[in-house]
Every structure is written in structure tokens, then in C-alpha cells.
Amino acid sequence: MTSTLRLEKVTLDNVEAACRLKVRPDQERLVAPVVRSLAEAYAQPEVAWPRLIFDGEQLVGFVMGFFLVRFDPDNPEDRLRSGIWRLNIAAGHQGRGYGRFAVESVCAEVRRRGQRRVTVTWVPGEDGPERFYLGLGFRPTGEMSGDQVVGELALTAGA
């Protein structure tokens, strides 16, 4: 990983490259493709925060945050949550710290917006991303969102 990591908005100039970004074939059942994420972001622009991950000029991944969403909108007791909606690191670029960078970037944006917890969901199983998220400090809440485990990370004031 280099020091030239950055997030960029999806634009007319990079949307085609974004839509071509693919995870490993064995991960395709674990995360929706970028094109679906972009459609969801378009349909819900008030909560979605889609960003491309670049290392220098190389597109290496995609992350989409979400802000102030109730997992159960019919339940007024359900609290508002912010966190990581999608994370796709390109097949040839995994294991280089790009996922960590993306998660830390979403955490920084959540904090900037005044929230103190970050939520993420993942497909359970040996080949899923659970170890990755647990390694970053996320802890299962005991909840499920559909067939996915709900995890949370408490943000510290300076982290």
C-alpha cells in the first residue's frame, strides 16, 4: 500500500471503470456488484455515500457508506445507524490494506457527521468477511439483517 490512497466520487469520467470492478469469483455471492450499489445510491441519494478507492491512478476498490438509516423503518424505537453498506476490493488488489483504508475512511465520515458508532453487516461463514471486520474491532450485536450478521464499532473521539 502506498501513501497515495484516496477516495473519489463516482463521476462520468470513472463510472464505467467502477462498473467493471470485480471481486474474486468466490466472493461474488458475498457482496453485490458495484453497478447494483450505484443503482441503490441513485435511488437513495439522501443516505448513500458511494466512493471509489484509488491507489495513485489505479482503481482498486469501491466503498459505500450509509447515514442515519433505521434497519426497521416501521419501528420508531429502532435507532438511526450509519456505517458501511458495501465494500468491494478488486480481485487482484486484495490483502494490501485497501479494505482497511476504506473502512477507516467511512468511520471518519461517520464521525464528521456527528455519529459515534459504525454499523456493518456481513454474510456469515468461513469464506465471508467476518474475520476482516472483527480484526478492525467490529463486534456482532446479536442482530441479523436478513441473512447477514450485524456488527458495530464504537468510535473514539480521536480515532
User: What ranges make up the beta strands (E) of 38-128?
Assistant: 48-55, 58-69, 81-89, 117-122
Q: How would residue 72 be classed by pLDDT, with cut points 50, 70 and 90?
A: confident
pLDDT of 9 > 60? The answer is yes
Which of 34-38, 69-73, 92-96 has the least mean pLDDT? 69-73
CA of residue 36 relative to chain centroid, distance: 14
- pLDDT for 158 equals 57
Beta-sheet pairing, 148-154 with 139-145: antiparallel
What is the rounded average pLDDT for all residues in the chain? 94
Average pLDDT rounded to a whole number, residues 67-96? 94
Average pLDDT rounded to a whole number, residues 66-78? 91
Residues with Cβ < 8 Å from 142, sequence gap 6 or more?
Answer: 150
Sheet holding 5-8, edge to edge: 5-8, 48-55, 58-69, 81-89, 117-122, 148-154, 139-145
- pLDDT for 1 equals 47
pLDDT single digits (tens) 23-38: 999 999 999 999 999 9
What is the rounded distance in angstroms from the CA atom of residue 111 to the CA atom of residue 145?
Answer: 23
Beta-sheet pairing, 117-122 with 81-89: parallel
Average pLDDT rounded to a whole number, residues 81-102? 97
- pLDDT for 76 equals 84
Predicted model pTM: 0.93
- pLDDT for 157 equals 65
